[in-house]
Amino acid sequence: MLAVAQNEMITQTGPGTPMGEVFRRYWQPVALSAEIAKPGGKPLQVRVLSEDLVLFRDDYGRPGLLGLRCSHRLTSLAYGRVEDGGIRCAFHGWLYDIDGRCLQQPGEPEESSFKDKIRHPSYPCRELGGLVFAYMGPPGTQPPLPPFECLVRGDGSRNTDYYPINSNYLQNVEGALDPIHSTYLHMARWSEVKHQVLAQPQLEVSLQETEYGVWRRSWRDPALIRPGSIPYSATVYSYGHFFMPDGFMAIRRMSLRAFGHVPSGGQDKVAVQKTQSWYVPIDDEHCRRYLASFVNHSVTGGAPIDYSKPKEAYVAPGPENDYGRDYDGVDTISGIPFGGAKLRTGDGSAGGLLFQDTMVNETQGPIADRSLEHLGVGDRLLIMVRKQLQRAVDDVSNGRDPQFSRPEPDDEGLVRVCGNDEMEST
Ligand code: FES
Ligand SMILES: [Fe+2]
Residue 166 is assigned to a structural domain of this protein: yes
> In residues, how long is the chain?
426
Q: What is the mean pLDDT of residues 191-206?
A: 81
Q: What is the pLDDT of residue 221?
A: 64
- 218 domain residue, yes or no: yes
Q: Does residue 360 contact residue 185 with C-beta atoms inside 8 Å?
A: yes
Q: Averaged over 27-33, what is the pLDDT? A: 98
19 within a domain of the structure (yes/no): no
Q: Compute the distance from residue 357 Cα to the ligand 2 centre, in Å.
A: 5
Tell whether 89 and 204 lie within a shared domain.
no
Looking at the structure, do residues 153 and 119 belong to the same domain, yes or no? no
112 C-alpha vs ligand 1 centroid, how far in Å? 17
Check which CATH number belongs to the domain holding 307 and give it: 3.90.380.10
Q: Is residue 212 part of a domain?
A: yes
Residues 69 and 191 in one domain: no
- 86 & 192 share domain: no
What integer is the mean pLDDT of 286-308? 83
State in Å: Cα 51 to ligand 2 middle: 29
Q: Write out the residue range of the structural domain in which residue 90 sits.
A: 39-123
- Distance separating alpha carbons of residues 94 and 70, to the nearest angstrom: 8
Is 156 found in the same domain as 93?
A: no
Confidence (pLDDT) at 222: 64
390: helix, strand or coil: helix
CB half-sphere exposure, 270, CA atoms < 13 A: 12
**pLDDT confidence of 307, banded at 50, 70, 90?**
confident
What is the CB-side half-sphere exposure of residue 55 using CA atoms within 13 A?
A: 25
Give the total number of structural domains in the chain: 2
Q: How far apart are CA 67 and CA 29, in angstroms?
A: 17
Does a structural domain hold residue 131? no
| The pLDDT of residue 171 | 98
As a whole number of angstroms, the distance between CA 424 and CA 282 comes to 33
Residue ending a domain, choose from 82, 107, 123 = 123
Helix ranges (DSSP H) in 215-257:
none
- 331, part of any domain: yes
pLDDT of residue 229: 47
Tens of pLDDT along 66-116? 999 999 999 999 999 999 999 999 999 999 999 999 999 999 999 999 999
One domain for residues 202 and 305: yes
Same domain for 191 and 328?
A: yes
70 Cα nearest atom in ligand 1: 2
Q: Give the position, in ligand 1's atom list, of the atom nearest the Cα of 92.
A: 3
Residue 360 vs residues 186, 188, 189, 364: alpha-carbon distances, Å: 11, 16, 19, 7
What residue ranges line ligand 1, CB within 6 angstroms?
70, 72-73, 75, 89, 91-94
Same domain, 86 and 226: no
Same domain for 154 and 267, yes or no, is yes
pLDDT band at residue 234 using 50, 70 and 90 as cut-offs: very low
Helix runs in 235-278, H state only: none
| Residue whose CA lies nearest to ligand 1 atom number 3 | 92
In a domain, 288, yes or no: yes
Do 157 and 108 belong to one domain? no
**Considering Cα of 118, then 122, then 127, then 132, what sign does the dihedral take?**
negative
- Pair 73, 205 in one domain: no
Q: Which helix (H) or strand (E) holds 290?
A: strand 286-296
CATH number of residue 108's parent domain: 2.102.10.10
Beta carbons of 53 and 68 less than 8 angstroms apart: yes
Contacts of 90 (CB under 8 A, 6+ apart): 75, 79, 80, 81
Task: Identify whether residues 213 and 310 lie together within a single domain.
Answer: yes
Task: Say which residue, 423 or 141, is predicted with more confidence.
Answer: 141
Flag whether 284 is in a domain.
Answer: yes
Res 230: pLDDT: 44
Distance 236 CA to ligand 2 centre (A): 16
Q: Each residue of 341-399: pLDDT tens digit?
A: 444 433 433 445 788 999 999 999 999 999 999 999 889 999 999 999 999 999 999 99
Nearest partner of 168 among 9, 318, 368, judged by Cα: 368
Beta strand pairing status for 156-165 and 81-83? unpaired
